[in-house]
Structure formats: structure tokens, C-alpha cells
Chains A and B, each alone.
Chain A
């Protein structure tokens, strides 16, 4: 649903002073690229940020869980998969796992605090991405939600401490391509396209971020927002409790100008000084990343962590498409 921030954004567009075009130092404020969709974020229930793979099992000199993604599975069926619902059920007496029902006045994905067990990492209402910068990348395995641009290890245990599986995850796609800032904002590819499939080959398979495509403008004033969660990011998010919210953000031009931050607002994953405003969100009652074992094939290892090399480009996961009809 669209939230109030979108209305505010449209009013900003309709009232920006056209006379700025005559002022060389300010004319770039009128560039359309400042006003389009700029970021996606991913979220889940607020209390979930203290459960799932966020749980701290050990700590030594600031290294949590031996530096590995530590997963405890509570599901009896599909034991080599991670069902966030089973963890929620197991802790249901103390853990309210319902994601916020979306509201028009929302300014973030979850209204309650989403602080993790590492409170110094802060909170923004959705998954953070400490792996984006070296100073905090060591926290990614407990803060979440996206793997660093290096190979990492994961271990999966049952509730009694028995090892279920372990292995390596390849680099996080979003961080490998510098597509997400430390606050968890995934940038958009600054291109125009008629469909996602038409540009995958030219942008190295989503390596420029989320996409806006324009299939159906003249018939229905309809566009699409498309994003793919690649296998490493997918596996990590699943382990951290899954995905219940996706947020769409524009730049908060008014806020940035008021604070002296003038265009051009170029993307820099490691040092992003842009301010964002939530304009739309979609909430799912169930975890979008639900997966299961298939026969003897482990769900987490086989279908989330490891790439299916038969798919081109390799390392691609599910694609989410939002159709927006502006009529």
C-alpha cells in the first residue's frame, strides 16, 4: 500500500519552484532522477530481531557465535530447512511474532523497535546491513540480514545442540555489488526498461539493484518494481527469520535540502548521506522465504545456499514484482 509519504512526495514534485532552472547551482534539484523510487528495504516482525539467527550463543572479544551464521531449527518436519514459523511457535509464550499490519501513516516497516541483541548496531525498522562496511561487518552474523562480500560459514543445529548441517555461503550478492548501504537500503538501477528480462543481460543479472520497468504505461498507467533475492542473501534472510515486509523509498528531498545536502545525490553504498522517505510498503502475513526439504535434499543447503547453475545468470533466486497502477 502507499503511505502518506507518497502523497507528501507528490506534493513536493508539484510545488518545486520551476524558477530554479535559471540558477546554475540549484537547477539540478529539478532533475527527475531525484524524485523516482530510490531504495527497497526488507523487514519482518519487530520482536523477530531478537530471535532466529540473531540469537547470541557465544561471544569472545566481540566475535559472536564464532563468526558464523548460527541457526537452530525447531521444525520437526523438513529438519534441514529453517522454518521461521517453528521458531515463532517454540517461543510463542514470550515472542509476539506478528508483523505490523500496514497503516497509511507508517513511516517505517515496523513501528516498534527492531533493535537486535547487539544494541550498538542501532535500528531502523527493517533489516540492517552492517556487512556493507568493514568497521561493522563482523556483526553481520547476529545483526543480519545480508552476508558480506566474502565467503562465510554457517552451522545449523537442532534444539538439543546436535549438528544438522554446516557449510559455506558465497558472497552476498547485494554487498558484492555494493547495492545496499549499512542501513539496509537497496538501491535502484538508474535505467529505464520495458521489462526485467529485457535488461538482465545488460546489467549482469540485477547487479545494478532493484528495477523499475514500464510495461503497460499507455494502457493502464502501470509500472512494475522488480527485485531478486539471490541465493546467499536469500539464505541469510531466511535464517534471520524471513521476510514479511518490503518497503519502497524515495529520497526525502525536502529534508536533505533543509539540512544543506544539495544534489547530485549519487549512490555510495559505504557512505550514503541520502535521506529516505517511505512511500509504499507491502506486508505479508506469512514468511515469503518458506522452504522445505525435498526428499533427501536439504532445503536450506540445496535450495537457498547453493546456486542452481542451470539458471542463467547463476546465483539467482526468486524475483518479486510489484505492479503499480497509477489510475
Chain B
């Protein structure tokens, strides 16, 4: 007998995105379910078989990527990377003076192989909240000083995809993360006029 975990558990994700302006007002710009991708299950398999890291924190979702080339076709469980993730720390934090995002470079596990040079944003542990016994919410803030002025091929580039990543399930050195959840959303031209708040809930049952 083979059990399919995600179907069996009613495992699902939900993402809302709001613009937050300097006066504190919020404008909801996106609110929909998302895809839990196979990398999350792959991480669980390493955990429960005791063949991965011996630290439970390596199986936690503690980082994210945003990108500019998302599309509907990526919203399938087999997706293992963003289509066009931001490609430098500077694209996340600008000159780094005012941004509140902590961005860093690490490896990424893609389709059975580790690749270097992926850029991530850190999700502070204080922004990982247990809502109830079977739900957790990740709150990601791209403040007004983050992810601005993005361009691709000389043209403005708009944010339109986001992914959550499991930290380092195989205890690789250096760390190698794997995509756990993905969502494509309608394009947002990020400027210093507003921040973006992503509220991402993963729940069971």
C-alpha cells in the first residue's frame, strides 16, 4: 500500500499579499491558495528516515525567494525553482543601508543536484507563527527600501512569484535549501512608496 501524504493530510497553503504604505494603511493585492511542492515531501522523507540532518532546524522553512518571471505553469507540485529569482543580494536590499531584509547567498537543491549562487531572504523566527495546532504562518516583509528598481534586459521588472524554502535537509556544507512552496501572482512593480507583506499559511486538515 502506498500512501500519498499531501492528499491524505489535506495539506494546503494560502498566500495573501498586501501593500503597506508609510501611513500604515494596507491594500490587499492578492489572496489565494498556493502549491506545496515536492521538495517539502522530499525533506520529510529525509527527516523520517533519519538519513538527513540530525538537527530539526534544518527541516524548517526559514528562507524565501521572490522572482520576476513567474507563470501559471509553475504552479505544479513538481516545481523545484522559481522561474526568475532575484539574482543578487543587491536586488533584495539595494545599497543595504535602509532595507530590513536580510539577504544572503547559498546553494539550492534543484532536480536532484546542488547548485551554488542562489540568493535568499531570511524569514526571522519571530515571524514564524503557529496559528493553531495544525497551521503555521510565515510573514515576510519587503519594506519600502527593498526590491526596488528591478530590471531585466534594460526594462523594468515586476515581482510576480515567491517561494518558501526548507533550510538544509541533507545537512550539506555549505547549506543547500530546497523549494517547499510556490506561488505565482499578478505583477507588482515594487517602489519605495510602499512595502509588501506576504502572509503565507501552511495548514493540515
Interface set of A (CB-CB < 8 Å, partner B): 1-2, 4, 6-8, 10-11, 13-19, 21, 30-37, 104, 190-192, 212-214, 217-218, 221-223, 280, 282, 322-327
Q: Chain A residues with Cβ under 8 A from B47's Cβ? A: 13, 32, 35-36
What's the minimum C-beta distance from B10 to chain A, rounded to whole angstroms? Answer: 8
In-complex Cβ contact of A213 among B9, B49, B53, B55 (8 A): B49
Say yes or no: is B5 at the interface (Cβ < 8 Å to chain A).
yes
Q: Is the CB of A11 within 8 A of B136?
A: yes
Which B residues from 127 to 141 make CB contacts under 8 A with A? 128-130, 133-136
Q: Could you tell me the distance between the alpha carbons of A214 and B130 in the complex, rounded to whole angstroms?
A: 30
In-complex Cβ contact of B9 among A6, A190, A214, A322 (8 A): A6
Instruction: Sort A-B residue pairs by CB-CB distance and give the 4 closest, nearest first.
Output: A7-B204, A326-B41, A214-B49, A221-B41
Q: Is the CB of A13 within 8 A of B59?
A: yes
Which B residues from 45 to 63 make CB contacts under 8 A with A? 45-57, 59-62
Interface set of B (CB-CB < 8 Å, partner A): 1-6, 8-11, 38, 40-42, 44-57, 59-62, 77, 112, 125, 128-130, 133-136, 202-205
Q: Could you tell me the distance between the alpha carbons of A190 and B50 in the complex, rounded to whole angstroms?
A: 8
Q: Is the CB of A327 within 8 A of B59?
A: no
Q: Could you tell me the distance between the alpha carbons of A16 and B125 in the complex, rounded to whole angstroms?
A: 9
What's the minimum C-beta distance from B154 to chain A, rounded to whole angstroms? Answer: 40
Q: Is the CB of B53 within 8 A of A1?
A: no
Q: Is the CB of A326 within 8 A of B5?
A: yes
Q: Is the CB of B130 within 8 A of A15?
A: yes
Q: Could you tell me the distance between the alpha carbons of A222 and B46 in the complex, rounded to whole angstroms?
A: 9
Q: Chain B residues with Cβ under 8 A from A15's Cβ? A: 128-130, 136
Contacts A31-B55, A324-B5, A327-B42 known; A11 to B135 CB distance under 8 Å? yes
In-complex Cβ contact of B54 among A33, A212, A223 (8 A): A33
Q: Could you tell me the distance between the alpha carbons of A326 and B42 in the complex, rounded to whole angstroms?
A: 6
Q: Could you tell me the distance between the alpha carbons of A2 and B5 in the complex, rounded to whole angstroms?
A: 7
Contacts A7-B9, A18-B62 known; A30 to B55 CB distance under 8 Å? yes
Q: Could you tell me the distance between the alpha carbons of A321 and B56 in the complex, rounded to whole angstroms?
A: 26
What's the minimum C-beta distance from A158 to chain B, rounded to whole angstroms? Answer: 37
Q: A282-B1, A327-B38 are in contact. List 17 more A-B contacts (CB 8 A).
A: A7-B134, A7-B204, A8-B134, A10-B204, A11-B133, A18-B60, A31-B56, A37-B48, A104-B10, A191-B50, A192-B50, A214-B46, A217-B51, A218-B112, A280-B3, A324-B3, A326-B42
What is the interface of chain B mostly: helix, strand, loop, or mixed? mixed
Q: Could you tell me the distance between the alpha carbons of A10 and B46 in the complex, rounded to whole angstroms?
A: 14
In-complex Cβ contact of A14 among B112, B202, B205 (8 A): B202
Q: Could you tell me the distance between the alpha carbons of A99 and B50 in the complex, rounded to whole angstroms?
A: 33
Q: Is the CB of A214 within 8 A of B4?
A: no
Q: Chain B residues with Cβ under 8 A from A217's Cβ? A: 42, 45-46, 49, 51
Closest to B4 in A: A325
Q: Could you tell me the distance between the alpha carbons of A2 and B8 in the complex, rounded to whole angstroms?
A: 6
What's the minimum C-beta distance from A29 to chain B, rounded to whole angstroms? Answer: 8
Q: Chain B residues with Cβ under 8 A from A327's Cβ? A: 4-6, 38, 41-42, 77
Q: Could you tell me the distance between the alpha carbons of A18 and B51 in the complex, rounded to whole angstroms?
A: 21
Contacts A104-B205, A322-B1 known; A32 to B54 CB distance under 8 Å? yes
Closest to A16 in B: B56
Q: Chain A residues with Cβ under 8 A from B51's Cβ? A: 192, 214, 217
Q: Could you tell me the distance between the alpha carbons of A14 and B62 in the complex, rounded to whole angstroms?
A: 9
Q: Is the CB of A212 within 8 A of B38?
A: no
What's the minimum C-beta distance from A172 to chain B, rounded to whole angstroms? Answer: 27
Q: Could you tell me the distance between the alpha carbons of A35 and B49 in the complex, rounded to whole angstroms?
A: 11
Q: Is the CB of A323 within 8 A of B45?
A: no
Q: Is the CB of A6 within 8 A of B55?
A: no
In-complex Cβ contact of B45 among A37, A222, A282 (8 A): A222
Q: Chain B residues with Cβ under 8 A from A14's Cβ? A: 60-61, 128, 136, 202
Q: Could you tell me the distance between the alpha carbons of A302 and B119 in the complex, rounded to whole angstroms?
A: 65
Q: Could you tell me the distance between the alpha carbons of A30 and B134 in the complex, rounded to whole angstroms?
A: 20
In-complex Cβ contact of A325 among B3, B130, B203 (8 A): B3
Q: Is the CB of B49 within 8 A of A223?
A: yes
Q: Chain A residues with Cβ under 8 A from B130's Cβ? A: 11, 15
Q: Is the CB of B3 within 8 A of A322?
A: yes
What's the minimum C-beta distance from A250 to chain B, rounded to whole angstroms? Answer: 9
Closest to A323 in B: B2
